[in-house]
Amino acid sequence: MVHPTVSLQLYSVRDALEADPAGTIDRVAALGFTAVESGFKALTAHPELVDAIHRNALATPTMTSPLFRVADREPVWALAKRLGAHTVVETFIPEAHWTSADDVDAIAAELNASASEASAHDLRVGYHNHWWELETRFDGVQAMELLIDRLDPAVILEIDAYWVAVGGEDAVAFVARHADRIRYLHLKDGPIDRENAHQRPAGTGAMPLRELIAAATSLEGVVVEFDAYDGDVFAACEQSRVHLTSLVEAIEVRA
């Protein structure tokens, strides 16, 4: 049986990673993670990370990187191939770039162009949301819905369900509506507010994690992530891994 992977977004342990890159990867593997999601900026700042990830036999289905308004993306594709990732995800287009429907058109055009470039390297491109794409509306239409409508089908979605909920959307309904495009879910937990330090281990907050996973019928993986944590973040990551693994292993394998 092949179930969705459970990865750790290494941004969650960024302070430790900065102090001891290779040792932090060893520690992540010791927590039981078999996959990680790492970022272009961290990987280029700490070249030893790639070797540490490979030495620990960690899968890297996704790599995050800026793609919007990047003049030369070739170094991104090259690093993704070296890492072993098959999808490069744009994870942060600031709120200031979402002021009009024309802005959405421009974002979609860049992501579509990125996907075309990536395909020449046997890579995919994805987009990862925050809350402002859900809150912002133009003529009554949600900016995120406008974006999805304008994206080439080759662009997959990595949906941060927590930020969908913070943005005022029913996260389960949103995931179900776009299940054909969603390949990855970032599954945070907490009281569903914007305060990063309020985030909690998976299964201890208000997010309907089981229902989200069930709704994502094209899911390839879920990602543990903490933007901040008031406590031992490694213990919180391990607790989240255990809980999310139990949920993905409980779902029926989809053809």
Give the start-to-end residue ranges of the domains of the chain.
Answer: 5-250
Element containing residue 37 per DSSP (H, E)? strand 36-39
**How far is 70 from 74, CA to CA, in rounded Å?**
10
Local confidence pLDDT in tens for the 255 residues of the chain: 578 999 999 999 999 999 999 999 999 999 999 999 999 999 999 999 999 999 999 999 999 999 999 999 999 999 999 999 999 999 999 999 999 999 999 999 999 999 999 999 999 999 999 999 999 999 999 999 999 999 999 999 999 999 999 999 999 999 999 999 999 999 999 999 999 999 999 999 999 999 999 999 999 999 999 999 999 999 999 999 999 999 999 986 554
* Structure token pair of residue 131: 């809350």
The pLDDT assigned to 121 comes to 98
The pLDDT assigned to 252 comes to 65
**CATH H-level, domain 5-250: superfamily:** Divalent-metal-dependent TIM barrel enzymes (3.20.20.150)
DSSP for residue 4: P
Q: Helix (H, G, I), strand (E, B), or coil: what is residue 138?
A: strand
Q: Say which residues have a Cβ less than 8 Å from residue 69's Cβ, sequence separation at least 6.
A: 110
The pLDDT assigned to 46 comes to 97
Query: What is the reported pTM?
Result: 0.96
**How far is 12 from 31, CA to CA, in rounded Å?**
14
The pLDDT assigned to 255 comes to 43
Class of residue 228 by CB neighbours under 10 A (exposed 0-12, middle 13-18, buried 19+): exposed
Question: Looking up tokens 């039981």, which residue turns up?
Answer: 32
Contact 218, 3 (CB under 8 A): no
